[in-house]
Amino acid sequence: MSKKYQRLILERKGAILTIKLSSPEKRNAVDAFMHEELPQALREAALDRTIGAIVLTGDPVGRAFCAGGDLEWIKVLSDGSGDDYSKVMREGVEVLRALVDAPQPIISMINGAAMGLGATLGLFADVSFMDEAAKIADSHVSIGVAAGDGGAVIWPLLIGPNRAKEYLMTGDPLTGAQAAAIGLVNYAVPAADLEARTYAFAERLANGPRLGIEMTKRSVNLYLRMILNQVIDASLGLEGLTFRTANHEEAVRAFKAKEKPNFKNP
């Protein structure tokens, strides 16, 4: 891996590449830099045939897996032009396709809160390990916007449409233990055991029959890619539409003021 990144930490040990989402002062929230860099890093890793597995996790200094989209960045998007949002839409599609299309198995190690886009990134991995006490939620509705960045794709596939709609329409969080119980994540693990369990599994895949593992991922992901292609452009467009609403503005104001938003509907 040759490129240097501002919001990612890349670490290599044997055949395993670890990608850490890193904006520690904002609980590893996604900003413009991370949004652009993550698909680049995944595409670069996909071309490196010495990498047998990828672990995606949050920088521990940030005390979260990923807190979702950085609200300051989101405010710039909601105030900006269609040209600004079209770039974000393109990158949003690119990062999900990079996760799906990377030949290597990707294991998410959800080592803290995974909210909004953070939840999407963790759930688009091929196998997910999560701290049993950490929280995961698609929290888009809490800021008055549609769950457009991939939640509408992956949650229904993992837990069924009706249960997915319950959590997507409320934004209610689940613990890792609750998420594993309904099949949203593969494994809920005590925090002290999370790293060992995740890397033991990553080692197993990285040192297994590589072509067989990669072709199995590719086969299963033919279905996931089909759903992604059908849904993602529309859902991102609907998210962009709700960025321009009074309820979104009120949610951002209330978040900064540490108040409960006062949503007003027509």
12 has which bridge partners?
17
pLDDT of 78: 65
pLDDT 10s digits, 175-225: 999 999 999 999 999 999 999 999 999 999 999 999 999 999 999 999 999
Three-class secondary structure of residue 157 per DSSP: helix
Please report where in the chains the tokens 């229904």 appear, as a residue.
156
Q: One-letter amino acid identity for 9?
A: I
d(Cα 172, Cα 163) in Å, to the nearest integer? Answer: 12
Q: Give the chain's mean pLDDT.
A: 94
d(Cα 243, Cα 124) in Å, to the nearest integer? Answer: 24
d(Cα 139, Cα 168) in Å, to the nearest integer? Answer: 7
CATH code 3.40.190.10 for 8-192:
no
pLDDT 10s digits, 47-91: 999 999 999 999 999 999 999 999 888 777 667 666 677 888 899
d(Cα 251, Cα 232) in Å, to the nearest integer? Answer: 24
pLDDT of 25: 97
In total, the chain counts a number of residues equal to: 266
pLDDT 10s digits, 19-53: 999 999 999 999 999 999 999 999 999 999 999 99
